[in-house]
Amino acid sequence: MYNINEWDHVFKLDPNKTITDRDLQAVCTSGTDAIIIGGTDGVTFENVTDLQERVQRYDLPCVLEVSDIEAIAPGFDKYFIPLVLNSQYKRWMLDVQHQAVKEYGDLIDWDDMVTEGYCVLNPEAKVFKKTDCTLPDKQDVQAYAQMAEHVFRLPVFYMEYSGMYGDPERVKEIASELKHTKLVYGGGIRSREQAQEMSVYADVIVVGNVIYDNLEVALQTVEAVKSTKMKDGGPS
């Protein structure tokens, strides 16, 4: 399952948060398709590699979502590179990535890299503020999705509601827009019903914060997503 096209559900772990070995074991053996390590604040080489080493004891893909050039570590199965499409500044779309490639280009295995067209939709999210986003309206999001698929030909379009449950109607509209680019949804999933609702439309569901607040509910989202996808006719 090292091909993202086969994934339905992933957990995102924040290297700046603490998780016990017992909880980590439950997360990694839950049946989720992959673990993404990523966060906005306090991401360091040390906390990334510490969590990487702990996750790699388990037999599932371990992905680094790169948010800080200082915290890029070798040995991940995949590297997710966000391009923040609704940032006001090209810095978050081009410049930080350019700097990273300039520094590490010779070491990068390009096949392991997955570029994400990131659209941040929660104005209260740390990532929204950090990357100087503006809030896109319905037509804006649709155009970003079209650009991700047709202009940039990105493998992933990520509707990022981090910390807030998004609008399923909007996710549905964007899903109908995309044919080749995979739709990833993340944000505010705090029940199996919400996981189910979003997985009807999105190809991949990302579950983050609830891992730290209510592990039991977090674990239930795996089965919720998997059973919804089975009903829809297997993995998309």
Task: Tell me whether residue 60 or residue 188 sits nearer to ligand 1GP (CB atom).
Answer: 188
Task: Tell me whether residue 109 or residue 181 sits nearer to ligand 1GP (CB atom).
Answer: 181
Cβ contact 223:30 at 8 Å: no
Say how far apart CA 73 and CA 15 lie, in whole Å: 13
Indicate the residue whose CB is closest to ligand 1GP.
186
Q: Which amino acid, one-letter code, is at 33?
A: D
Q: Annotated binding residue at 234?
A: no
Task: Tell me whether residue 15 or residue 208 sits nearer to ligand 1GP (CB atom).
Answer: 208
Q: Annotated binding residue at 124?
A: no
For residue 133, give the DSSP letter. B
Task: Tell me whether residue 62 or residue 207 sits nearer to ligand 1GP (CB atom).
Answer: 207
Q: Annotated binding residue at 131?
A: no
CB of 188 to ligand 1GP, least distance (A): 5
Q: Annotated binding residue at 216?
A: no
Task: Tell me whether residue 15 or residue 186 sits nearer to ligand 1GP (CB atom).
Answer: 186
CB of 217 to ligand 1GP, least distance (A): 11
Q: Annotated binding residue at 116?
A: no
CB of 101 to ligand 1GP, least distance (A): 23
Determine how β-strand 182-186 pairs with β-strand 156-160.
parallel
Cβ contact 35:15 at 8 Å: no
CB of 65 to ligand 1GP, least distance (A): 8
Cβ contact 122:162 at 8 Å: yes
Q: Note the residue count of the chain.
A: 236
CB of 105 to ligand 1GP, least distance (A): 26
| Interface residue list for ligand 1GP (CB under 6 A) | 12, 160, 162-163, 186-189, 206-210
Cα four-point dihedral sign 81, 113, 98, 90: negative
CB of 233 to ligand 1GP, least distance (A): 25
Cβ contact 145:181 at 8 Å: yes
Q: Annotated binding residue at 209?
A: yes
Task: Tell me whether residue 155 or residue 188 sits nearer to ligand 1GP (CB atom).
Answer: 188
Say how far apart CA 94 and CA 236 lie, in whole Å: 30
Cβ contact 119:141 at 8 Å: yes
Both tokens of residue 182? Answer: 């995979």
Q: How far apart are the first and last CA of the chain?
A: 13
Q: Annotated binding residue at 176?
A: no
What are the binding residues for Mg(2+)? 14, 40
* Residue list, annotated binding site: 12, 14, 40, 158-163, 188, 208-209
